[in-house]
Amino acid sequence: MVTSAVLVLTGCAEGSDGQAEPASEAAAESSEVEPNSSDPGGSSDLPHSGAPAVADPLPKSALPQDPCDAVTPQQVETILGQQAQGERADQEETGLRCRWTDGAGAGFDIGYATETGQGLSAFYANTQPQMEIFQAVDPVSGFPAVEYKTGHDDSLCTVVVGLADDYAVGASVAQTVEANAEGQDPCEPAAKVAELVVENLGTNAVG
């Protein structure tokens, strides 16, 4: 269970051109997954590329129609340290997405990976080759998960949870350069955000 401690995500992430960009925008960019037409698209071919199977899938009906409803206002305040309104930032290639910011560049994204029809397999096939760090992590509420970032010093991290063989949800967060210098790992808050989301979806499924 996620604690009520504030997971404050502050400051800006460094962009590829050396300029600061809003952390939430950088997180969204880092979490994009391009579908690969050469990969199997049917559920009978899943999982593939080394992705684990989802033993007890969650029905897609558990996903809120609006991804901004994937977390409650109280949970957003827990994550950011203040109230914030979610804004849609859908990705045509992957699925619906919502972004929250604190007005000073900090923020986090929650996205549905539904459009590829390949769940975690798409991440193993397409994202893993592009990342220096891509690894399986402890299951999130019983569902298989991975975390990835471009390198050890990256202030961005994405945690993706496979809720069925053919779809997944992801949480992307960014932290300040100062936090990185202190040795903080952005994957820790990303995992906590992902856990919040999956717990909420589980409640929706039985509600």
Spell out the domain ranges in the chain.
Answer: 48-206
In whole angstroms, give the CA distance from residue 72 to residue 29: 24
Nearest to 62, CA basis, from 172, 207, 195: 207
- Residue 175 pLDDT: 78
Element (H, E) at 74: helix 73-80
pTM (global) more than 0.85: no
In whole angstroms, give the CA distance from residue 42 to residue 166: 8
Residues of the chain with pLDDT under 70: 1-44, 104-106, 176-178, 207
Cα 176 from chain centre: 18
- Residue 44 pLDDT: 62
- Residue 18 pLDDT: 33
Q: Which CATH number is associated with domain 48-206?
A: 3.40.1000.10
Nearest to 37, CA basis, from 95, 90, 93: 93
- Residue 105 pLDDT: 58
